[in-house]
Structure 1
Amino acid sequence: MLLLISVTLTVGVSLGAPAQEITCDRPFILNGNYIPEKTKYTLTDIIIYHCKEGFYPATKRMIARCTNTGWEPRPRCTLLQVKPCEFPKIKHGHLHTADRENTVPVGKWYDYSCNDNFVTHSGSFWGRITCTREGWSPAVPCRKTCSKSDLEIPNGFISESDPTYPVQKQVQYKCKQGYVTADGQTTGLITCQQSGWSAQPTCIKYCGMPVFENATAVITGARFRVNDTLDYKCLDGYENQDGKSTASMVCGENGWTHLPKCYKSTDMCGRPPSISNGDITSFLLAVYPPGSRIEYQCQAYYQLRGSKYVTCNEGTWSEPPKCMVQPCAFPEIKHGSLHNENRYKPYFPAAVGKWYYYSCNDNFVTHSRSFWDHITCTREGWSPAVPCRRRCLFRYVVHGYTPSSEEYHKDYFQGDTVRVECHPGYSLPNEQTSMTCTENGWSPPPTCIPVKTCSKSDLEIPNGFISESDLTYPVENQVEYKCKQGYGTADGHTTGSITCQQNGWSTQPTCNKYCGMPVFENATAVITGARFRVNDTLDYKCLDGYENQDGKSTASMVCGEDGWTHLPTCYKSTDMCGRPPSISNGDITSFLLAVYPPGSRIEYQCQAYYQLRGSKYVTCNEGTWSEPPKCMDPCVISEQSMNKNNIQLKGKEDKTYYAKTGDLIEFVCKSGHTAATSQQTFQAVCQEGVVEYPRCE
């Protein structure tokens, strides 16, 4: 590389002669250009230069200044074998104080820190990023952290106190008593990954082995999941509360449905004795275990005498009660009074058949509607049961039509009903069309109120919709809603219905995600079903001689928001491939698995300066990988080899040069030497690490 610099410096020989101006000639920059371009440059003038693609400035700054010794620093563009790094940009972080540079040489490093929810590669507050031959290291300076607050573990908890965890950190969670993980353990592990937590921890209910009383379990076990069944058998001569020697119980959300308890067959009781004019309050069983207690009650107008309970003891029921005819107590006449009641009160209770005169208060009438009537003691009690009935008058309707003349002058009595007509847009409460005379007057009152409606806009149905076009609906109107494809109602249907009520819609419609039964390829489902909810698990089994992509014959998949976690596909065991072959001076770009299904494709890449020959992919076919590529050796052009042949690289000043297979390398004779081989040999080609050098004498 040549650099022409001309410095003109004239020093006066006379003390009175002025010094001549210092100037610099135009610089010559091989493989570069500069601004501004002038014929001459004076002292302190500066230029800014740029290098062509593939060349880099020899100094940190691309500026040179004219001085009394020439251009400083010398503006040069150099071809580097090791490419420098571009100035780093820290994603989710920032560099510690540093001047920005266009390029950074290999080996230089900077301190950096990360934003919230991210950590440095070392885990400390300050990290270090270094320029290497392969680029910046670490390649991902700031790694994501996972937050403890992102986890919800129903019936479980994380005992560690740290609020956040770095990527690859494993965290243990524990289930509360009576709950276990999906694989039946009391604790489980999750890992912080770049995308967040590896899984959402779950703790599910289980039932422990119960204590058997005069019975034994048909099968043994330590823990049972919800809906698991446990069969048990009574000892010889014993039976359970249903009179059977064998039975089953089911694990539910609140534990076992019943306890496995058996009793001596001779201590069991049959049905309890019946009583006249009385009933048993509970549903009758065929047999009852010892200690069972049954309650009796008398029919209307009969009085119970004795204990209302009977107990089973050594196969026999205790003495039952009796129901006797009940006399009539003193009648409390609501809205009326007994004739001479103070005189007759000492003679109560009254025998059946005895009667007394009575009268009613204002706005109430006797049963015969005369001023005096009589009340009689019967086996069923006092008759009439309602001695004084209300009298109602129908004179007006608020927001309704006036009653007819006949209705206006008519007397209505307790229990009578009259039809009411309201103005348009009004109705009696609950859209009734009539009112009834009651003890407290008209029910409902003769007042019409605005009709209640429900608005379609009050409904929000995520993943569902109402297909009807009406905007409002009257009370008691039923409306159908539909779920989008892949979603269903809470009871598993594609449509549901809601009703407009006085206080609004009967319920808020919901459409939940579900997964349909997938198509199995060389596999079968362990259980069957039509629809599965989110987080439901479906177990499947490969056919004989087949296995899934993980090399297993049985596996599970989970219904998620986006469908099944994977498809239940199994492959012939003989068609599966092991780990792909390794190659010299090359690597596989993906994470290695233990087994690969047929059709899997793996990519290779060569190490720096090695040239890949052949396809960079291998494919698994019938248990065998296709032919892998090769990484061809580079050629190393050393200073020793060039000195031996009196040659040097054309246009390069490197002492050692690396070339890939197929690269063209140009040589020239060193100064003072002439070619001893043909001119064609000075353009050599690298072939698998070998190069034929030309020779000069």
Structure 2
Amino acid sequence: MHVTTTSCILLLWMHTLTFVKSQGACTLEDFKKYHLYDGNFDISGMQASYPGGRQVKVGCNVGYSGFFKLLCVEGKWQHRGTNCQPRSCGHPGDAQFADFQLRKGDDFVFGSEVVYTCHKGFQMVSRTNFRRCMAEGWDGVIPVCEAQQCPSINVPNNVNVLGDAEEATYGNVVRFSCKSSNYIMKGAREIYCDENGDWKGLEDGNPTCEVVKCEPPRIKNGFVLGDIKEYNEREILNFECNLQHKRAQELPSRCTKTGDRAEWIPTPECEEIKCELTLPPLQGTTYEPAHRSRFSPGEKVTVTCEERYWIGRTRTRSVETTCIEDGQWSVRPVCQEVTCIRPQDRLLSRWEASWRDETKKLGDTVRYTCISGYRRKDGVTRATCTRDGWEPNPLCEEIKCRRQQFNNADITGKIQAEYRYNDRVQYNCRRGYEGSFTLTCREDGWHRSNECTAITGCPTTSFDRRLKVWQHGDKLYFRCEDGYKPLSKGWWGEATCVHGVWSGVEICIEEQKCREAPEIPNGEGILGNTERHGQTQEMIFIDCNEGYSAKIEELICRDGRWDLNGSLDDICKSNHDNCSPPPKVENAVITTCYRKQYPSGSEVTYQCRDKYTIEGNSTLKCTAGEWKELNIQCILYCDQLMDESLDFRAEKKKYMTGEIIEYQCKNRTGIIGTATCQHGKWAKAIECEAQSQVHGRDSQRQTVPLGELDRAVVGP
């Protein structure tokens, strides 16, 4: 059985061997042409040919992994296994302060190569900057990068250094300052180490600290005076500006340490001389020319304020101001609200407005009272704020009473033209009357305590003993004794009995005394007495009317005559600065009362009649005896055109002579005409028919004469 089994196996092996041998051989060249063959297989140990049925194991070259098991079947290679793949070296390793990238290959496998690059500000200190993937792994070592280092900086001892100036590396910043506040920095104030190991910021020079000094500046449109090359701290720069320019700052420019610099404070600058207008102005304020805010010297601007405002210094609503050489206005062109401040009047006893509310506006009123002996002028109870200040002006007037004269009584004592508050005047009744009485000057005038009582009949006794009288019917004739004379004139007189009193009887005065005060033109003589050298001297005190000045202040009685020292007409003379009545303006009146003389400084205001408007300044002022040049005119104006047959836009309520408006006829499409204001009436170039006329007929038209239409529209 064993022999039989062995024989069978032998026969089978021989059969298989015979079968294999019967197949074709496989060659090395066939393998090279194999579709999976590549150069990574290690074929150095293969034979040139293999018989059929032969199995061959093929490995990979160095650096690759994998293998093929080849089987030669019927002259063709069959395989099992994997292709040769490059062997991986893994991650090549990160270098500090550097990046890397593949320079060869697509992955970290055999044959690939990576190159390392240092970051900005760092440099390569290794001998090589790359690594290669070898069969045993990455060759070499990971490269090393170190920061760029800048050279050390040496500074003077008076300079502070903030930062490392000796071993600074890329990115380090070093700052410098002066140790003493009396010095300023020159050169670099801050430097930094760049990526190349160089210091940046030294362009201005190495840092040093120097005493505060300023150099003469270059001034646009100006120049520095003198030839000073350097200025010490706090010294003032002396400079001037070119023509038509001025200093931008009024303060002097000083050499000043600011921080770590020396600068001129304020900066010496010259600017073109211009006068500025503050815009926008108050509501209602207008400028001519308009829409400009800067003006050159010599240019003029007219400023007009609205009703409740004025130009502060001139206290007028409109003023022409000129831009002068220093860039200022001759009159500050600013409208301010009309106000009145609390009056500083010693005659006021009470002003019923709080101190917090001292300023009042136009039209405001305040109740007030005056001190004793004074009263509110014109009987008002409140003061009113006006464009001319508080009215009435003055607020308080002294209480005075004009001398009261009576036909039946005479003053005893000193005779005056006016008496003050609380003055008492004693009167004695004349002959034919009996009694006496006293008048007291009060706020509302004289207060009387008694009156004279008429004596019935006319007695011929009780006359002055110096008066010689004799009666003839109802007449009484008289003369004075020698050495005396009548008080009025002549040397004799007559009197008539009226209501028990002889009317016309005079008293006798000594020959060396003067008679009654004469009538003084443009003034009044007030009889009185004065003491001179221990004797009573008769005097006449001169009181001239307003606008006149007294040539002499008093007349003296000498030897029974008033020493006139000339003519009576020469005593009260017109002031040289007075003006005669103001000139006449056609179609205008003056709003103040008429006077023969107007003192210098007084003003009058003209007002035009209806349908006229004033052109020019309405106020005229008397200056040094002459009225300011008159440039006032009252000009007719046209009211708004009223015509229902016209279409037009009225832009104003008043139109002056020569002004033109355009209109269109309502019933004549496309017809445009013009109307011209001529001396208060409208003159139309084309007449238009009213709608009622057009609707009332078809073809005929009636026109209204130009003059009649004007009268119908604007009136006479």
TM-score bucket (shorter structure): under 0.3
Taking structure 1 as the reference length, the TM-score comes to 0.23
- Is the radius of gyration larger for structure 1 or structure 2? 2
Taking structure 2 as the reference length, the TM-score comes to 0.23
